[in-house]
Chains A and B, each alone.
Chain A
Amino acid sequence: MPPDSPPAAVPAPDLPASTPPGLSALFVAFAKISLAGFGGVLVWARRGIVDQHRWMTADEFNETYALCHFLPGPNVVNLSVVFGSRFRGIPGSIAAFAGLLGPPVVIMTILAALYARYGEIDALRRILAGVSCAAVGLLLSAVFRMMMPLVKRRDLVALVLVAAVFVAIGLLRLPLAAVLLVAIPLSIAITFAMRRRVPA
């Protein structure tokens, strides 16, 4: 291809070949992702953004997700905002945010109203008790999955930090803010010191 060809005809090499989505496309895509996501939306976000629409490459998606994971708050909500802004600025953020949260919030509010009215019915109480037992198991398995890399690396310092936060929040029931205001600076200082001692 000659170097003086019109730039509009040349797809950027590191971007997936697709037109950037418009506002309504962002809203609809995130609404679909959200409504498909029972018990975790991330898998569907990856499927929709990378595989289906090709709006991002897998690497770009991982980088964006890593950023949203280290920021506080619901990860997928953060992802929708960062993703929307990348294509359409602040309006894009709002469209993706509204798509992700609008429809499920409507469903959740209806369920909340039903629960407020019928929550005392015995059969429903028994079903919910059963579901919550299983859901706690799912949460525990996610914790084990996240811990496996630390165990495999024999990362003793990290495991001690895990245990300390677990005891402070789970057993002592201390307020979250107080615990994190101590734990975050401590953990950053330790991580920084370890990386300086062992380069790479």
Chain B
Amino acid sequence: MNSDSNSILTLGWTFGLMSLFAVGGANAAIPEMHRVAVDVQHWMTDKQFADVFAISQMSPGPNVLIVTLIGYAVAGVAGALVATLAMCVPTAVLAYCVSRLLTRSSHSRWPAIIQAALVPLSIGLMGASGLILALTSDRSWIAALVTAMSAVLAFATRLNPLWLLLAGGCLGFAGVI
């Protein structure tokens, strides 16, 4: 019981702090989630992390809800709720305050400068997410090929992403990957 409430506390401050550094959204924080959940806290294996990423991508709702799955794996329903709120509430409060502030002094050029400065950082973070997830998911050259095909199709066409996830699931079920 004691270790359970300890791990809920850890979930809370880990994701609460992480959310403030999630520049560019939830997918940019995936390397940090992987580092904490797999390497530091040993909450889950590499394979389980790849699995929860897959589940979060094919479920409805914002991508950030991967933290709900991680939280559940650590401490059940309470863990799921604490992880989700910790990841979403601090930045929501920040967003509320900043939006209030900006409507009052809307002619400053700083928001535009900060925004432009953050773009390359969030692209670098997303790229790192891609690399880390590719290393955990693509265990064979066929798997890497599926990832490459999906990347090319998503980049070059307007295909609904759900079809690509479905195709990946079918190939996996057939035992190809």
Contact = CB atoms under 8 A, between A and B. Distances in A.
A142 interface: yes
Contact of A34 (B61, B114, B115): B61
Nearest to B51: A128
Contacts of B64: 73-74, 77
Nearest to B163: A134
A113 to B, nearest CB: 7
Contact of A170 (B25, B115, B127): B127
B57 A39 contact: yes
B170 to A, nearest CB: 7
Interface string A106-130: 0111011101100100010111111
A154 B68 CA distance: 39
B165 to A, nearest CB: 5
B75 to A, nearest CB: 11
B103 to A, nearest CB: 9
A143 B176 CA distance: 27
Contact of B57 (A85, A100, A101, A138): A138
A64 B106 CA distance: 12
Contacts of B120: 150, 158-159, 161-162, 165, 187
Interface residues of A, number: 93
A171 B135 CA distance: 11
A57 interface: no
A112 B73 contact: yes
A147 B23 CA distance: 16
Contacts of B146: 130, 133-134, 137
Majority secondary structure of chain B interface residues (helix, strand, loop or mixed): helix
Contact of A131 (B124, B144, B172): B172
Interface string A71-95: 1111111101110011000100100
Interface string B59-74: 1111111001100110
A170 B131 contact: yes
B69 A112 contact: yes
Interface in A133-192: 133-147, 150, 158-159, 161-166, 169-171, 173, 175-177, 180, 183-184, 187-188, 190-192
Contacts of B62: 34, 37, 41, 74, 76-77, 100-101, 104
Majority secondary structure of chain A interface residues (helix, strand, loop or mixed): helix
Given A36-B60, A162-B123, A140 B92 contact: no
A39 B161 contact: yes
Interface in B111-163: 111, 113-134, 136-139, 143-144, 146-155, 161-162
Interface of A: 34-41, 64, 66-78, 80-82, 85-86, 90, 93, 97, 100-101, 103-105, 107-109, 111-113, 115-116, 119, 123, 125-147, 150, 158-159, 161-166, 169-171, 173, 175-177, 180, 183-184, 187-188, 190-192, 195
26 contacts: A34-B62, A35-B60, A36-B60, A38-B161, A39-B165, A41-B61, A73-B87, A77-B88, A101-B62, A108-B65, A112-B69, A112-B80, A113-B72, A129-B137, A130-B170, A131-B57, A134-B150, A137-B151, A144-B151, A169-B32, A170-B31, A170-B129, A175-B35, A184-B23, A187-B117, A188-B117
Interface of B: 17-27, 29, 31-32, 35, 39, 48, 50-65, 68-69, 72-73, 77, 80-81, 84, 87-88, 90-96, 98-100, 102, 111, 113-134, 136-139, 143-144, 146-155, 161-162, 164-165, 167-173, 175-177
